[in-house]
Amino acid sequence: MVDGVGQEQPRSANFGPLYEGPPIIEVRDLGISYGGKPALRDASFDIYRHEIFGIIGPANSGKTSFLRALNRMDDFTTGMEVRGSIHINGKDVNDWRNLYALRSRIGVVFPLPVGLPLSVYDNVAFSPRLRGIRGKAELDEVVERCLTRAALWDEVKDRLDSLGSLLSGGQQQRLTIARALSQEPELLLLDEFSIAVDPVTTMRIEDVLKDLRSELTIVLVTNLVQQARRLADRTAFFLTGEVVEIGATEDLFKRKVQDERTTGYLEGRFG
C-alpha cells in the first residue's frame, strides 16, 4: 500500500489535482490506429508530477500503444497513426521538431528486455554520452549509480565489459531499466517490466520505483493487478482500446468503481 495518498478522495475520470502544480501529461481525444485498425479511442486524462500512474487491462487494450505515442514512436513505425493531442509539460509532443530531444527526457522499459550488443558499461553510458558527458570519472559514477538502482550492480560489477546482449533475460531487463535511469528522465514509462524478472528482483525494483517518485513521474503499464495496487497512486483501466475507468488505486480496489467491467477485471472474471 502506498502511504499518504488517495485515502478518501472522490473518484471519477475528472479526478481533481492530487498534487501540486499543473499535470505533466495532458491527453486529449487521443486515438491510435495501426493501418486503420484502432488500438485506442477517445482517451482523455491527465497525469500529474511525481505520481505513479498505473495502467491495467488485458492484452490488446491499447496500453503499449499509448506509451509508444508518448515518445512519438509513431514517426518510426509504418502504419501507426495518432490523432488527438498529447501535451507534456504543456507542450504538444508534435511541436517538438527535434523529437530526439523529447525522447531523451523520457525513459522507456519495454516488456522484452533489450541489452544492446555493446558492453554493459557502454549500454548504461550510451545516453550520458549522447548528452555530451565524456569524463571517465563522471561516466563511471553514472554507470555505477544506475546499475545499483536497477539492482544489477552486484551481479555485473566484475564484468562490465561483457556484452549486454548476452546477459540473462532478467539481467537484461534490469540493464534496460538502468539505461532508462541513465537518461535522467523526467518521465519513466514501464511496460510490464517484471515479465522476465524473478519475484525477488521484482520487489527490489519496485522499492526503487517508490523512491524514484520524488524525482520523476512514472507511468506503469502492468498485467499484474497486484503490482498496480502495490505501486500506483492512481490507476487507469484500459479495455480493447477504451479507457474504461481512471481513479485512485485505493478506490478501484475497494470496488468504488463507475463501470462494472472494472470490477469484473479486478476479480479475474476476464483478462
User: For binding to another protein (CB under 8 A), which residues are involved?
Assistant: 71, 73, 76, 78, 97-98, 100-108, 110, 112, 114-118, 126-127, 130-132, 163, 165-166, 176, 179-180, 183
Q: Are 266 and 57 in contact (CB under 8 A)?
A: no
User: Closest separation between CB of residue 237 and another protein, Å?
Assistant: 25
Contact call for residues 105 and 183 (beta carbons, < 8 A):
yes
Least CB distance to another protein at residue 89 (A)? 16
Phi, psi of 232, deg, nearest 5: -80, 140
For the bound state, the minimum distance from the C-beta of residue 127 to another protein, rounded and expressed in Å, comes to 5
Min dist. Cβ of residue 101 to another protein (A): 4
Number of Cβ within 10 Å of residue 105's Cβ equals 16
Q: Least CB distance from residue 73 to another protein, whole Å? A: 7
Closer to another protein by Cβ: residue 12 or 162:
162
Of residues 130 and 203, the one with the C-beta less far from another protein = 130
Query: Which three three-digit cell numbers place residue 221?
Result: 503499464
Taking the least distance from each CB to another protein, the nearer of 103 and 230 is: 103
Is residue 24 within 8 A of residue 90, CB to CB? The reply is no
Q: Which is nearer to another protein, 2 or 163 (CB)?
A: 163
Beta strands (DSSP E) in 89-146 are 91-92, 106-109
Nearest alpha-carbon partner for 230 in 246, 213, 210 = 210
- Return d(Cα 155, Cα 146) in angstroms, integer: 13
30 pairs with which residues across the strands? 43
CB-nearer residue toward another protein: 34 or 126: 126
